[in-house]
Amino acid sequence: MSWERHVLSSGCRDGSIWNHDVRVANHKTAELVAHSGEVCGLTWRSDGALLASGGNDNLVNIWDARSTVPKFTKTQHTAAVKALAWSPLQLNLLATGGGSYDRHVHFWNTTTTARLNSIDTGSQVTSIQWSTEYRELVTSHGFPYNHLALWSYPSLSKIVDIPAHDTRVLHTSMSPDGQTVATAASDESLKFWRVFESRGKSAKSSKGDMAMAAPASSGSAAAASSGAAANGSGSSASSMLDLSRPTFIR
């Protein structure tokens, strides 16, 4: 399911997508038919102009909000497409992830319909979350590793792998402040990961650290500054991260 203001879109097992206007009793306003298998991924773009859908037929369909036929269809995935995410920093950029027999994330320019790049993640892709501040994204996975992976965009270099659950990660959700990712898995656990630290919060923290260090000698201050840069938040992954931006907190 995916919300666009007062419209709730839901995917069905028969491959159809229903749009519901929740303000009225006769709520069904449109039925979109293009998938031949169950619809397992659905997400509206932030401006409400486009809807992306993924199915068990291995297809990705992009729908114009004003039409009931797909604007275009992508067939590059070789397994079910559950993971779909629009970039919050680039309106026409869509990331899609495939299942166990595919394991790829593809990046699409939905204006030109071109595939921009791809990642072979090595695992079933179950969801994708973009950072709202940094040009980075988090992917969650099932078989065989059941982990989270953090990627830089557009270089697509992997920043870190995070062992997450004992079984497949079923769903992820980003906190309203864009800093914490919640994961739910079939191991019956719910976990919260502080993946992206806000630039604003980091700046405030730095000012506080400088104020506390003011009485120290210049040599001590330099040593403290050097130590803070080296240690970051104390994360075991700090040596793998770009210390020019806030360090991740696990």
Going by DSSP bridges, is the β-strand pair 115-120/158-163 parallel, antiparallel, or unpaired? unpaired
Tens digit of each residue's pLDDT (9 = 90 or more) over 96-154: 999 999 999 999 999 999 999 999 999 999 999 999 999 999 999 999 999 999 999 99
Across residues 169-187, what is the average pLDDT? Answer: 95
pLDDT at position 199 is 81
* Cα angle for residues 118, 177, 21 (degrees, 5° grid): 80
DSSP secondary structure of 60-75: EEEEETT-SSEEEEE-
Over residues 205-245, the pLDDT tens digits come to 545 444 444 443 333 333 333 333 333 333 333 333 333 33
Q: Angle 145-149-153 (CA atoms, 0-180°, nearest 5)?
A: 150
Model pLDDT for residues 25-68, shown as the tens digit of each residue: 999 999 999 999 999 999 999 999 999 999 999 999 999 999 99
Kindly state the tokens that stand for 112.
């030109």
Q: Could you give the maximum distance between any two Cα atoms of the chain, in Å? A: 72
pLDDT, tens digit (0-9, with 9 covering 90-100), for 77-108: 999 999 999 999 999 999 999 999 999 999 99
pTM value is 0.79
Q: Tokens 């995070």 map to which residue?
A: 162
Contacts of 24 (CB under 8 A, 6+ apart): none
**What local confidence, expressed as pLDDT, does residue 241 receive?**
39
Per-residue pLDDT, 200: 72
